[in-house]
Amino acid sequence: MRKEKSLYYSIDQICKVIDCEHKTAPYVESSEYFVVRTSNVRDGNLILDDIKCTTKEGFIEWTQRAVPEHGDVLFTREAPAGESCLVPPSLNICMGQRMVLLRPKKDLVNPYFLSFYLNTREGKREIYQHVIGSTVTRINIDDILKIKIFCPSIAEQEKIASFLGAVDTRLTQLRRKRELLQTYKRGVMQKLFSQQLRFTQPDGSPFPAWKLRTLDELMEIKNGYAFSSDFFSVDTTDKILLTPGNFHVDGGLYFGSNTKYYQGEVEEKYILSNGDLLIVMTDLTKEMNILGNTIFLESDKIVLHNQRIGKILIKKDGLVTKQFLRDVLNSYACKKEIREKATGSTVRHTSNKTILSITLHIPLIKEQEKIASFLTAIDRKIEALSRQIEQTEQFKKGLLQKLFV
């Protein structure tokens, strides 16, 4: 597509920009009113996992400046800066802190087109020119207004938006299937680790009672390295700097547009291997519930171990399997304890000592293996959906690059 300079417009020319309330909305356990925080916006999608609810009164107060409508674009100002997505239909949402709302002038820009463009490589590069900060990135309102957007004719924008919208519909369907499986797994895990649900031995007899052990008896934690921001890059290289921002709320890793790449020299001991068991030691923000998330690393890239991720090593005494340890660390009770003991007023973090002091009920190896086998079967179904989602996302990225080169 030919890009003439005259077809580039600044955000303030094509959108009304509405800032959020600079305070935290009141949270309630459940309601029909939702608060979108920066952690809920990733790679052009509104992530409903772990979204917070507010009261009707809170919703009214937090939408005095504007009620977000379908077709508006949510844009994050911090932690990380520059993530965006469309406001979905039929959802009552208000903005949490560090968010802004872009309301497109529809005679100049199609909302879907705007959302797609902001998530292209070209769109991200333009955004990053105005971003400040290396560890926690942020962007000021005045700089958001200066961001340049490529805007061909409305007719052409609508054709592009319609084509890419069909791909997004497929992605939504796949994500919904995965979300249902993840919800099922969480429910089963809670029953398993509270011992409401127990397996039996081959002869039908019950397994012995679980024993209370400290995590220090079962494992140790290796810390990573504080890599210098002087060598960070937004362009793809073969070395990924793994951060808490790469961890899904519901487990697993993703390497989206916010991924950090590293171009400096690295000691071999700080290069992670596939199969390494990793735990998040620091949240990106106080409200981002990924602290304590534990995963096995799987990547075809060189992945670097930074100081905010712990690498877990099993103590060789036959008390626990690696698979079971991952599952028990991800259990509701264990994560709850990690988060309750976390320190920090702005960003929560934990320590090796705090995690290793936690006590949990642990079954014998044979029962661990049955539990792990059962949960692994669910994981395989989730992973199959994740692969379909990733393939569809890569297809979409390819289309975006072809359309906006």
DSSP assignment of 61-91: HHTSS----BTBEEEEEBSSEEEEEEPPTT-
**Which residues, other chains included, contact 1 with Cβ-Cβ below 8 Å and sequence gap of 6+?**
152, 403, 404, 405
**C-alpha to C-alpha distance for 166 and 146, rounded to whole angstroms:** 31
Q: Could you report the per-residue pLDDT of 228-286, keeping only the tens digit for each? A: 776 776 665 678 888 887 887 767 777 766 677 888 788 899 999 999 999 999 987 65
| Average pLDDT of span 289-308 | 88
Other residues' Cβ atoms within 10 Å of the Cβ of residue 121? 16
Q: Could you report the per-residue pLDDT of 127-176, keeping only the tens digit for each? A: 999 988 766 788 999 999 999 999 999 999 999 899 888 998 899 899 88
Weakest-pLDDT range from 57-66, 99-108, 264-273: 264-273
How far from chain centre, in Å, is Cα 262?
Answer: 20
Is the separation of the CB atoms in 165 and 112 below 8 Å? yes
Is the separation of the CB atoms in 163 and 349 below 8 Å? no
Other residues' Cβ atoms within 10 Å of the Cβ of residue 258? 20
The label of the residue with tokens 């669910």 reads 378
Is the separation of the CB atoms in 78 and 347 below 8 Å? no
Q: How large is the greatest C-alpha to C-alpha distance in the chain, in angstroms? A: 78
β-strands 294-296, 239-242: how paired? unpaired
**Strand, coil or helix: 209:** coil
Mean pLDDT of the chain: 88
Which carries the bigger pLDDT value, residue 316 or residue 267? 267
Weakest-pLDDT range from 55-64, 274-283, 288-297, 365-374: 288-297
Token pair listed for 91: 């959802």
**Strand, coil or helix: 10:** strand
Q: What separation in angstroms does the CA of 361 have from each of 186, 190, 335, 350?
A: 18, 13, 14, 21
